[in-house]
Structure 1
């Protein structure tokens, strides 16, 4: 389910609802807790650690949360994380567009595409 760039936010909401109706997960991160990247005064971390880590998502039983540095460090880490994530999403969107518009594949055909691996 693709939403054209610049579409009204309502279109995005409608598409996500359609995904939910088809049992396509659209917000699994929200269901399992956030990944937190707190920064700030290191003296505050021992007082906040239990609270933050209790609400954070877990990976292999460990919280996806740890103090990342002084003031501004959490924002910086999140910015870098988002940059990587948005780059990944852009690559997926461009590959999809190339397979759809460039090669003319439908979604079922795209699902069968396998990329070569180099040793």
Structure 2
């Protein structure tokens, strides 16, 4: 799927972009779509938007509604999504690391300018 940045390396058995999750098979222990699990997190819309993936978040939100509202959806998938909602976001951690690195470089750069100017 062109809309998914991880499509070429994805190992999820059910792709929320392919067709409704309630029409796909997901067995216990199988990998779950990274972006689908990330969409379950607190403030996930802001995190996706911050990564330029706002449209993908909308698709994941619709897939979530499908999974939770359809009795034909895999209970293993639904339980995985419930567990995902209880953990922290890998995307948010990555964004925080990038922000921290940029701030560290900025502060280090300011320190170098200050040293140079004080010569």
**Bigger RCO of structures 1 and 2 (CA < 8 A, at least 6 apart):** 2
Task: Normalising by structure 2, report the TM-score.
Answer: 0.33
